[in-house]
């Protein structure tokens, strides 16, 4: 591993700390190195607050009386191209120029039109040496949610379900049936805290009455998205408890009642997944876990609208019932979660 790769890997470790807190912004980490020593680190911690470069530079300013001289002889490593536009915060490229940091090493370019290449161009125009593409694929993978939203105008989609060892999703009578153990359920709650929203269909809401929160994990609970075409679900269900923003896709009304948002689709017979994802994109929702039921999962699978599939296989045997969905893709990981097997797929070949 080269020194630039070593420091960029540290940037990635820092950036990951922002998961679940910075969306719809990307996760970014920054490391400042002076004569082989790390003198400052930072990451984007919260949406709307300081970016990684700002936090790293501020750490140097706080720690060293001669910070100005140190920065003028340092290299800053950043996992994503420094921004060049005014958004929630001032441009990071301007801050690097202000402190006369002579060298910037970038993991990957920012795909956002207002940044893409412009941050690098601004730095180079100021006489700063810029090296880009260090651990580029790893940097893109870390921000796959952000890249998907910017480039495809839809959220990043994660399918999640549990199936029995003989390939069934649920009993034939659609009754609630626990397939996985406690470890897997805790892991799912952790995942929810990392994504913007969790989506279910009407049957799952009616049968399981899920809370869709993170009570067994950390982080904030995601927004809830429910497909209820004719608005038949009881308002006594947990999804109507006003605890978090909940979007109900239907064909009857568009309205807001507290934290419940009703969104009517013009055509509920065609392109429903596409319409839903575009509406979620407009709501600044960057990532969604689809947790069921089988019909809802299959609808998105058939439309080709998924990016990852996280499939738990338990030891139970049903013999008959509702068949589990089926997807094909590149295996990212296969591991044990308690007594369950977790298989993670990606919906395109991994380069």
Q: Which residues are catalytic?
A: 53
Q: How does DSSP classify residue 341?
A: E
Helix (H) / strand (E) containing 106: strand 103-108
The DSSP bridge pattern shows strands 29-34 and 37-43 to be: antiparallel
Place of tokens 């980490």: 29
How many other C-beta atoms lie within 10 A of the C-beta of residue 317? Answer: 10
End-to-end Cα, the chain, rounded Å:
19
Q: What angle do CA 279, 283, 286 make, to 5 degrees?
A: 95
Angle CA(195)–CA(235)–CA(321) in degrees, nearest 5?
70
Q: How far apart are CA 205 and CA 160, in angstroms?
A: 15
Q: By the 8 A CB rule, do 254 and 262 touch?
A: yes
Neighbouring residues of 269: CB distance < 8 A, sequence distance ≥ 6: none
CA angle 53, 89, 49 (to 5 degrees): 75
């Amino acid at each position: 591993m080269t020194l630039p790769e070593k420091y960029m890997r540290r940037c990635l470790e820092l950036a990951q700390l922002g998961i679940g807190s910075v969306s719809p912004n990307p996760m970014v980490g920054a490391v400042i190195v002076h004569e082989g020593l790390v003198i400052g680190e930072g990451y984007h911690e919260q949406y709307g607050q300081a970016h990684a470069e700002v936090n790293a530079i501020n750490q140097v300013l706080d720690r060293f009386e001669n910070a100005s001289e140190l920065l003028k002889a340092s290299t800053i490593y950043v996992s994503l191209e420094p921004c060049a536009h005014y958004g929630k915060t001032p441009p990071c490229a301007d801050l690097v120029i202000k402190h006369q940091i002579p060298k910037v090493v970038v993991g990957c370019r920012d795909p956002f039109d207002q940044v893409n290449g412009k941050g690098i161009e601004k730095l180079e125009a100021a006489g700063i040496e810029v090296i880009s593409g260090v651990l580029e694929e790893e940097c893109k993978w870390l921000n796959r949610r952000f890249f998907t939203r910017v480039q495809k105008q839809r959220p990043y989609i994660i399918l999640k379900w549990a199936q029995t060892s003989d390939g069934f999703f649920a009993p034939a009578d659609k009754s609630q049936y626990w397939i996985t153990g406690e470890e897997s359920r805790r892991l799912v709650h952790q995942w929810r805290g990392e994504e913007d929203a969790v989506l279910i269909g009407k049957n799952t809401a009616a049968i399981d009455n899920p809370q869709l929160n993170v009570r067994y994990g950390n982080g904030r609970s995601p927004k809830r998205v429910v497909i209820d075409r004719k608005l038949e679900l009881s308002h006594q269900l947990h999804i109507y408890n006003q605890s978090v923003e909940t979007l109900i896709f239907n064909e009857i009304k568009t309205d807001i009642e507290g934290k419940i948002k009703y969104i009517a689709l013009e055509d509920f017979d065609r392109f429903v997944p596409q319409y839903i994802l575009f509406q979620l994109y407009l709501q600044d929702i960057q990532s969604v876990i689809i947790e069921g039921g089988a019909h809802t999962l299959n609808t998105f699978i058939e439309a080709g609208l998924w990016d990852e599939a996280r499939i738990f296989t338990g030891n139970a045997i049903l013999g008959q019932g509702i068949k589990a969905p089926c997807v094909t893709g590149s295996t990212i990981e296969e591991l044990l979660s308690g007594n369950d097997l977790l298989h993670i797929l990606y919906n395109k070949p991994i380069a």
